[in-house]
Amino acid sequence: MKPQDLLVALKLWAGQGRHWTYPLLASSLGMSVSESHGAFKRAVTAGLLASGGLGVRPNADALREFVIHGAKYSFPASLGELTRGMPTAHAASPLKALLVQSDEPPPVWPHPEGSARGPRLDPLFASVPGAASKDPALYELLALFDALRVGRARERQLAVRLLQERLR
């Protein structure tokens, strides 16, 4: 699997009920049509999506299991230098409302139009900040996933609970 495969699966989860085409999916994620098609096919092969075209519901059990238990190992992350960007992990919704915020700068995805300054956390895929800024449900899923990747024990625990609720 590639990072964009998980991104496509999460986008299709967040956009359930919508009629998707490869060009529409690609445009919403900031990738090429061939990238979105390849990512979709790999996600089907991995069992994260049911086969049969873009209108099919993602495989909730497999997606939930992979995001919570496997993806952080497949797509590890670490915090880097301070930069401007979009808050993620515990600094973004929904965790931000549940945790007492510290004086530490928030982890951010690098983005020139970002609203915060903090340690760099490379997103799952390069186009994530743009895609997340247009889709609040996708943003929440990706921020929770980042909390699993770089969060402390309490943040990871809350992220698991929230992901289990959202990926039903």
Q: For residue 142, what are the domain limits? A: 79-166
What mean pLDDT do residues 92-109 have? 91
The amino acid sitting at 132 is A
- Report pLDDT for 111: 95
What mean pLDDT do residues 81-88 have? 97
Residues 94, 137, single domain; the answer is yes
Among 52, 74, 96, the domain-final residue is 74
This prediction has a pTM of 0.94
Residues 66, 88, single domain; the answer is no
Residues 59, 86, single domain; the answer is no
- Report pLDDT for 109: 97
The span from the CA of 6 to the CA of 39, in Å, is: 8
- Report pLDDT for 12: 94
- Report pLDDT for 54: 57
Q: Which of 79, 97, 106, 111 is nearest to 140 (CA)?
A: 97
Residues 97, 69, single domain; the answer is no
The span from the CA of 56 to the CA of 43, in Å, is: 12
- Report pLDDT for 16: 86
Residues 107, 161, single domain; the answer is yes
Give residues with Cβ within 8 angstroms of 159, minimum separation 6: 95, 144, 145, 147, 148, 151
Q: Looking at the DSSP assignment, which residues form a beta bridge with residue 117?
A: 84
For residue 167, pLDDT beyond 80: yes
- Report pLDDT for 55: 57
- Per-residue pLDDT band at 102 (split at 50, 70, 90): confident
- Report pLDDT for 13: 94
Write out pLDDT tens, residues 128-151.
999 999 999 999 999 999 999 999
Residues 97, 68, single domain; the answer is no
